[in-house]
Structures are given as C-alpha cells and as structure tokens.
Chains A and B, each alone.
Chain A
Amino acid sequence: MQLQYFLLLAAALFCIGIYGLITSRNAVRVLMSIELLLNAVNLNLMAFSNFLDSTAVKGQVFTVFVITVAAAEAAVGLAIVLAIYRNRDTVDMEQFNLLKW
C-alpha cells in the first residue's frame, strides 16, 4: 500500500504547484510553481519506477531527463522574465495582459 502514499503526496505537491501557478502575481514565483509541478511529476516517476518496474527502472531514466529539461526550462524562463522586466520594469503578471481580445 506504499505506492498510493507516494502518489498522493505527488498529487498534493502538483496541486500546490497549480495553485501557485494560477494565483501568483510575481512571474518568478510562477516559475517556482512550475518547478514544483515538475518535481511532483518526478516523485510520481520515481514511485512508479520503484514499485512497478524495479528491474529496468525506466522511470528513473525519465526522471533524469525531466530534471535536465526542467533546468533548461527554468533558465529560459528566467531569461524571458528578465527580458520582460527590462522593457516593462515590472514582473507583475497582472501587468502582462496586453494580448487580449
């Protein structure tokens, strides 16, 4: 019965990430929320790999890739935030609603 607990923990982390993603006004905090989501996914992958695929551990390979891609993504994301900050002098998400109807 241990797998469920891992999965529930990961889901809770994912939901916290979602909440942060949708409600944060600071763009950097949005990126942080995304990191939370990715880490929740990593937890899932590790749990599945351990309990369902303990010999081939493909989940662990996935996790390594996700960590790598997440690092790159965070770097690019911070670059975008910096670029916006240079132009608009703020990182408030509610100021970035120019591309509406």
Chain B
Amino acid sequence: MAQFLLETVWLVPLYALIGGLLAVPWSPGIIRRTGPRPAGYVNLIMTFLAFVHSALAFPATWNQPAYQVFIPWLSTAGLNLSIDLEISSISVGAMIVVCGLNLLAQIYAIGYMEMDWGWGRFYSLLGMFEAGLCALALCNNLFFSYVILEILTLGTYLLVGLWFIQPLVVTGARDAFLTKRVGDLFLLMGVLGLWPLSGTWNYTELAEWAASANVNPTLITLVGLALIAGPMGKCAQFPLHLWLDEAMEGPVPSTILRNSVVVASGAWVLIKLQPVFSLSPIVSGAMVGIGAITAVGASLIAIAQVDVKRCLSYSVSAYLGLVFIAVGTQQDEAALLLVLTHAFSAALLVMSTGAVVWNSITQNVTLLGGLWSRRPVSGLAYIVGILGLIGFPPLGSFWALLKLADGLWTTKPWLIGVVIAVNALTAFSLTREFCLIFGGKPKQMSERSPEVGWQMVLPMMILMSFTLHLPLILQSLSLLPSWAELNKDVALLLIWSSIFGCSISAVIYLGNVPKPIRLPWKGLQDLIAYDFYTPKLYRMSIVLSVDLISKLADIVDRFVVDGIVNLVGLASIGGGESLKYSTSGQTQFYAFTVLLGVGVLGIFVTWPYWGNQFLDMMLLSR
C-alpha cells in the first residue's frame, strides 16, 4: 500500500490543483445562490487528501534511496526538456509540511474569512499555491523549478491583490510582482547561462557536474550571482525585500502560507543549487554577505515596527537571511532544518496575531494591550511561536541555529556573531510584540476582545502542539544533531542571547519605562522604523531611472520616429499642394510646356549625333 502510494506521490500537486479549480465555480458571478462557502470546503477536502497521501507515502521513502521519475515534456532539435521528479524522503517530507500548513491555513481561513464573499478566488489561489509548492518540492529540474517560481510569482500578485478595492493593496501587489519578477528574470539568465556549461538542468546531474567542473571562475561567478538573484527576490532579501512588507496588505490566512512556505520556495531552489554555488567563493561570499546584511537589518527593522504583521514579516526576512548564510557556507542540512523549524514557528506567530487582529481590528501594537488574561490561547500560541523561532532548547529552531553556528565555529567565527545577534534581536522584537499585545493594561481598542471561534483556534492549537512536538519528531527520525558532538559553548551563547533579548524586552515593555519608547536619536529610530527608507531608495534609483528612460523613449518615439514617418506624409501633401500651381489655367503655358518637353526630349534623343561635337566646339572656342 505504502509502496503504491509512493509511486503515485507525484499526484499530490494535482490534488491541490484540482481543489483550486473546483473552488472557481463558487465565485460570486457564477454560482449565485449558494454563497461562497463550498469553495473552501471542497478545497479543504482536496488538501486533506493530498496531506494524507503524502503522509502515508512518507514511511516508504525512509532510508530508501531517492528515485527519479522522468516525464518527457518537449523535445526539439538539440533540446530535450523532461520534467524530472525526485521522490525522496526530503521531497515527500516537504510536501507533507506544505500540505499540512495549507490545511491548517485553510481551516483558519474558514473562520477568518467568514465575513468575506471572495472565497472562490481566495481558495482557488491557495490551492494553486499548494500545487506549485508541492510541485517545486518534487521537481528535480532547475528549468521547471523556474517555471513553478514564475507561476508562484503570478499567484502572489493575485493573492496579495485579493481585496483590490484598497489602494495600498494594489500598490503592494504591484511591488510584490515586479520585485520578485526582477529576481526571477535574473534567475532565468543564470538558468540559461548554466546550460552551455553543464549541459543539464537536473539538480542531481548538476551536483555531479559541479563536483568535477573546471570552468572559468569569472563565468561561473556571474552565473552563480544570477542564480542567487532569483531566490534573493523570492526570499525577500536585501535589497529586494520591500515587497514582503507591502505584501502584508493581503489577507492573514494567505500570510500564514507566505511567511512560512512561499518565501522558503526560493530557499529550496538555493539549497538545491548549493553544489553549483560552491564552485565560486565569490558567490558564496555574496550569499553570506546578503544573508548577514538582511538578517541583521531586518531584525533591527522588526523591532521598530508598530504594525504587527510587518513586525513578523521582517523577522521572516531575517531568518531567511540565516538560511542564505547557511547555504553560503555549504551547510545544506542546517539550512533545511532551519527552513522547517522556521516554517512552523512563523506560521504559528501569524496565526496568533491574526486571531488578535480579527476581533481587535487594529494592527497597531501600540493601540493593543492587556489581552493575556482574556486571550490565553492566542497568547500561549504566540509564546510557543517565539520560543520555537529563537534559540530556546529544546524547541526546533534551537537545534537548527545550533547546527548552523556549530558549522561556522571553525570556518567563519564572525558569522556566529551575526547568528547570535539575529537571535537576540528577534527575541527582543518578538517579546516586544508579545508584551505590547498581551501585557500591560487594556487600551481602547482591546477593551473587549473575546477569544476567536474554533475554526481559528483549532489550527492554532494543532500547530502549537506540532511545534512543541517537533523536536521529538525530529529525534525519532534521528534528524537532530547529536548533542555529544556539538559545541556546548555555542549552545550556551545561543541560550544566553535568547534569554538576554527576551528579558530586556520584557523589562522595557512591561516595566515602568514611559511609552511610547523614544530612542535618544530620533533620526535612527525613524531610519529603522521606515525600513531604511527603502521605498524612497527604490523611487530615487531604479524607479526614477526606468521612469526617465521610458519617458525619454516615449518622446523619441513620438517626435523622432513618428516625426520622420509623418514628415514623409507631410512632404507628399506639401508637394501636391505646391505642384498643383503648375496647372496654371493658361493655354499658352501648356503649349510652352509641351514644346519644352519636346525640345528636351529631342535634345536627349539626338544627343549622340551632335552632342559631343557641340561640346568639342564649345571647348575649342574657349
């Protein structure tokens, strides 16, 4: 049975796709009588099927070698494109995570989207995302990974733009699409540049090729830089990070999926391509640099936000920066473990804050407070989310961060400082949000804030228990790094940094420090609160130059290109208008022109008989 399920596990993306398609008919324009709810239920059933299928197939993959499936797609002269699937415990495991999180997000959305008519659109897009992510997990081919990433970029545009009546949603969706698109286009350049070098897009064959490749270092550096640009946009890394901030305008349930899984899709491709990146030390260095800048910058920005969703989105950028560092230092396993543990904790945090936002209306943490006594479930979920995300033993991310830091201990010790700093800063920012939302005294917006209904609490509880059990599950699969081999000093540093961050934050935000807190340097506070003025930076550099160039091109097109063509027409009109005066109306003039024509023609025809003699005569007479 398990073997049969394993052999058909490539059907899992299709379930989600069918679920997404089945949701479409309940769009308000098509089925008008039933309301939109069946769209969600249908989608939920298909996601559940996909989850069960991949979960049942998982034991059969365990300790088995990965096997490959090749589905021919297109065969032209000199190019055979086949959809390569790899069915291994990692890919099936990733599908379980995607389907499971989507299942929880969809149950959550049943509660959250209760007052919304757009279920058909919303659930079909969630189904599309699940299908794309599962297909990406299975796909073992760089080309088709790119195809899926692009489809997901379109999906992000549509999902962020769900409530397109709001102007900020429209601009956010635009930025999310264009920013990710730019990264994807660079990725396409890298994908195409890799083909003549390696002759394959299959990840396994690429790894084999990279093991013994002898290529021009400049060339592979450029290709590698293009290849990291795609995941850089996808994972909201510096400087392509603004879109994630603006994508927080979308509905919360989709944010669950985005914060946990969709941004990780870039990291997945990055991890798969790690053998290629390791060919060039510059590319690895760039990855580490980008990751470190993003991790530190984003965790600083997260501290200075007042919008609860944006606080979390910058933490996501920071943790994916750590994934970049892990891949840049050739630690695939640490990167995968970090992606996994981060996915659960980030999803839990978004669910918890979403539940608060749902019936406290405001997203501004400075307007919330004192919810702990009345919202213990959301509060507990938030605490577990914090502890699961920062280095707090024995929960998941501790082991991932430990593994990462342990690998850095001998090679690049200064990066441990980055990891510790990010951990402490994230602990600070998450505890700050907890204290502002759940601690202190109730404010006007949170005076009456009941706990949410079971549709939102249930997935939160399931995910909370799963986050708590994650270390046990990992241990039973013997995926945790063994404690005996690890560096205890790093572990202590991590734990201390977590405690340090949490306790300082708690003291500041629960203690008698006057709020709102002002840094002594207002400029610095504004700088990080406004995301280092990234929107202005974009507008002053890329947007401005593209805008100016396009205006210039428009002017050239209007006046030069159009002008030349119009000039031809104008010249014809002018010629006709002026030459008509040759028809003077004078008969004698006509006679004159006739005679002139005859004369000229006569000279021309008879020139050979007398012309030269005439010329000679003229010359001689001079």
Contact = CB atoms under 8 A, between A and B. Distances in A.
A18 B587 contact: no
B609 to A, nearest CB: 16
User: How many interface residues does chain A have, given as a range?
Assistant: 10 to 19
B583 A100 contact: yes
Interface string A12-45: 0000001001111000001000000000000000
A100 B587 CA distance: 10
Given A18-B595, A22-B591, A93 B586 contact: yes
Contacts of A97: 584-586
A101 B583 CA distance: 6
Interface in A80-97: 93-94, 96-97
A88 B171 CA distance: 79
Contacts of B581: 101
Contacts of A99: 585
A100 B591 contact: no
Interface string A36-61: 00000000000000000000000000
Nearest to B589: A22
B580 to A, nearest CB: 4
For A21, A24, A98, the residue with the greatest tally of chain B CB atoms inside 10 Å of its CB is: A21
Contact of B592 (A22, A24, A93, A100): A22
B612 interface: no
B588 A101 contact: no
A30 B595 CA distance: 15
Contacts, number: 30
A8 to B, nearest CB: 15
For A23, A93, A98, A101, the residue with the greatest tally of chain B CB atoms inside 10 Å of its CB is: A101
Nearest to B592: A22
A98 B588 contact: no
A22 B588 contact: yes
Contacts of A21: 588, 591
A59 B366 CA distance: 121
B585 A93 contact: no
Interface string B560-592: 000000000000000000001101111110011
Nearest to A94: B586
B191 to A, nearest CB: 67
A18 B592 CA distance: 8
A10 B454 CA distance: 122
A96 B584 CA distance: 10
B276 to A, nearest CB: 76
A78 B595 CA distance: 23
20 contacts: A21-B588, A22-B588, A22-B592, A22-B595, A24-B588, A30-B588, A93-B587, A93-B588, A94-B586, A96-B587, A97-B584, A99-B585, A100-B583, A100-B584, A100-B585, A100-B586, A101-B580, A101-B581, A101-B583, A101-B585
Interface of A: 18, 21-24, 30, 93-94, 96-101
Given A24-B588, A101-B583, 6 more contacts: A21-B588, A22-B591, A23-B588, A30-B588, A93-B586, A100-B586
